[in-house]
Amino acid sequence: MLMEPFLVSLSTVAIAEMGDRTQLLSLMLAAHYRQPWPILAGVLCATLANHGTAGFIGARIGHALLPSVLDGLVGVSMLGMGLWTLRPDSLEESAVGGRRRGAFLATLVAFFIAEIGDKTQVVTVSLAAAYAQSVILVVAGTTVGMLLANAPVVFLGKSFAERLPLRAIQIVASLLFVGLGGLFIIRAIT
Residue 108: closest CA among 41, 24, 54: 41
Q: How many residues does the chain have?
A: 190
pLDDT by position in tens, the chain (length 190): 789 999 999 998 998 888 777 887 888 888 778 889 999 999 999 999 999 999 999 999 888 877 788 778 777 877 887 777 677 655 454 444 444 458 999 999 988 988 888 888 888 999 999 999 999 999 999 999 999 999 998 988 766 656 666 677 667 767 877 887 888 799 889 8
Contact by Cβ (8 Å): 161, 93: no
pTM exceeds cut of 0.85: no
Q: How far apart are CA 64 and CA 116, in angstroms?
A: 23
- Output the pLDDT for position 23: 84
Distances (CA, A) of 33 to 24, 28, 41, 90: 14, 9, 13, 20
- Output the pLDDT for position 160: 60
- Output the pLDDT for position 94: 46
